């Protein structure tokens, strides 16, 4: 019977080391894919026109499917516009909630991460919402 020395076992470990390395790489790739999926899709509201009175937002939202974690980016001129996250009633009647009750954005480049549900956004400048500057988004 041949004696087995220390060196003979090392050769049999090579496949284990390679397998462990492959597993580590696979886990890292999976983690990166999950993180990317959780980040969601970013939408520029109104596309190139941005958040302005010249866009039909009902048409803009048509055909899009929004998911929790997606991001709406409102790009607009702060001299004329803002973005207010309102209730369904505020959306229907173009009414901004009393100060502090609804988030109001006014940086000109606002990113809003969407949770599940239906969300309503209007421009709080007088007459803009009633002229069509409002957006309703349903999120799966």
Whether residue 11 is predicted with pLDDT greater than 60 in this model: the reply is no
In a domain, 6, yes or no: no
In a domain, 103, yes or no: yes
Q: Tell me the three state secondary structure of residue 83.
A: strand
CB atoms within 10 A of CB 12: 8
In a domain, 23, yes or no: no
CA distance 15 to 134: 61
Tokens standing for residue 79 = 């001299």
Q: Tell me the three state secondary structure of residue 53.
A: coil
Task: Provide the pLDDT for residue 9.
Answer: 52
As a residue count, the chain comes to: 140
In a domain, 129, yes or no: yes
Express each pLDDT in 109-118 by its tens digit. 999 999 999 9
Q: What is the mean pLDDT of the chain?
A: 82
Q: Tell me the three state secondary structure of residue 48.
A: helix
CATH number of residue 126's parent domain: 2.60.40.420
Express each pLDDT in 13-54 by its tens digit. 655 555 444 443 443 333 333 444 456 999 999 999 999 999
In a domain, 85, yes or no: yes
In a domain, 37, yes or no: no
Task: Provide the pLDDT for residue 123.
Answer: 97
In a domain, 10, yes or no: no
pTM: 0.72
Task: Provide the pLDDT for residue 2.
Answer: 56
- The confidence band for 102, taking pLDDT boundaries of 50, 70 and 90, is confident
Task: Provide the pLDDT for residue 20.
Answer: 46
In a domain, 131, yes or no: yes
Total structural domains in the chain? 1
Query: Domain limits at 90?
Result: 42-139
């Amino acid at each position: 019977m041949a004696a087995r020395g220390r060196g003979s076992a090392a050769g049999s470990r090579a496949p284990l080391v390679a397998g462990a390395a492959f597993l580590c790489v696979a886990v890292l790739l999976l983690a990166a894919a999950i993180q990317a999926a959780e980040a969601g899709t970013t939408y520029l509201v109104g596309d190139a026109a941005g958040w302005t009175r010249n866009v039909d937002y009902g048409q803009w939202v048509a055909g899009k499917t929004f998911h929790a974690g997606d991001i709406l980016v409102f790009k607009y001129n702060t001299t004329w516009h803002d973005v207010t996250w309102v209730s369904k009633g505020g959306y229907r009647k173009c009414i901004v909630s009393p100060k502090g009750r609804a988030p109001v954005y006014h940086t000109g480049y606002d990113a809003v991460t969407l949770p599940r549900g239906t969300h309503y956004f209007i421009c709080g400048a007088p007459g803009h919402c009633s002229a069509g500057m409002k957006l309703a988004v349903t999120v799966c």
